[in-house]
């Protein structure tokens, strides 16, 4: 069973900073679900979220010794993952994607109504641009301010505000009428030579 994030103690972090492999495994077990969820919500693709998860923990292991402890360790790891997601969205890869079928997860029969609502919301979120989806996630779920989001994205505070307002309007429309967009659930197109 995954160790709860709140149960991460300083001794595990200290051991990880010294290169203890078991501590690295404990951190991964505790934080991987949170990091995957963040990446999936921002990037809308399971495969990309898995890549971000792995890249995040490679960086966490490599840079654990630089963690100063001025924030919670989980917040530090979350920041690394969010930065990796935003770097992906700024890269050329995010504009060279092709649509694929959404085969994420199937809701249990006992929670059909709730699952339908979640699927409708996820589908609507998936129809947003990567930037709009990231702003919605960072502001509405993670609690970042517009100023922080603007700084993270290399933009202004007003950019974040306008992206969020447009995204909320688009989400309202998509949730009122089922979306007919090709959701960006896709994979990067690789050039072959």
Q: How far is CA 72 from the centre of its chain?
A: 18
Q: What's the confidence (pLDDT) of residue 22?
A: 93
Q: What's the confidence (pLDDT) of residue 113?
A: 57
Q: What's the confidence (pLDDT) of residue 43?
A: 87
Cβ contact 185:178 at 8 Å:
no
Could you tell me the fold of the domain covering 5-94? Rna Polymerase Sigma Factor; Chain: A (1.10.1740)
Q: What's the confidence (pLDDT) of residue 120?
A: 78
Could you tell me the fold of the domain covering 99-183? Arc Repressor Mutant, subunit A (1.10.10)
Closest to 23 measured CA to CA, from 33, 31, 13: 13
CA angle at residue 45 from 166 to 64, to 5 degrees? Answer: 100
Place of tokens 């447009």: 166
CA angle at residue 126 from 143 to 181, to 5 degrees? Answer: 145
CA-CA distances (angstroms) from residue 70 to 80, 86, 192?
15, 23, 45
SS3 of residue 99 by DSSP: strand
SS3 of residue 77 by DSSP: helix
Q: What's the confidence (pLDDT) of residue 172?
A: 87
Q: What's the confidence (pLDDT) of residue 44?
A: 84
C-alpha to C-alpha distance for 84 and 137, rounded to whole angstroms: 15
pTM of the model: 0.61
Q: Consecutive sets of 10 residues in the chain, 193 residues long: mean pLDDT of each?
A: 56 90 92 93 89 95 89 91 88 50 40 62 84 90 89 91 92 76 41 31
H or E stretch covering 19: none
């Amino acid at each position: 069973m995954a160790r709860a994030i709140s149960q991460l103690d300083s001794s595990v972090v200290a051991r990880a900073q010294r290169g203890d492999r078991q501590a690295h495994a404990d951190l991964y077990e505790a934080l991987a679900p949170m990091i995957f969820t963040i990446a999936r919500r921002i990037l809308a693709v399971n495969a990309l979220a898995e890549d971000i998860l792995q890249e995040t923990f490679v960086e966490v292991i490599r840079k654990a010794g630089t963690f100063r402890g001025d924030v919670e360790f989980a917040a530090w790891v979350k920041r690394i993952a969010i930065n990796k997601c935003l770097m992906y969205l700024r890269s050329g890869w995010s504009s060279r994607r092709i649509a694929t079928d959404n085969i994420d997860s199937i809701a249990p029969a006992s929670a059909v109504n709730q699952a339908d609502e979640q699927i409708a919301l996820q589908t609507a979120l998936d129809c947003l641009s990567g930037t709009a989806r990231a702003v919605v996630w960072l502001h509405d779920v993670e609690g970042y301010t517009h100023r922080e989001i603007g700084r993270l994205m290399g933009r202004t505070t007003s950019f974040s505000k306008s992206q969020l307002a447009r995204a909320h309007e688009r989400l309202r429309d998509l949730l009122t009428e089922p979306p007919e967009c090709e959701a960006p659930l896709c994979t990067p197109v690789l050039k072959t030579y």
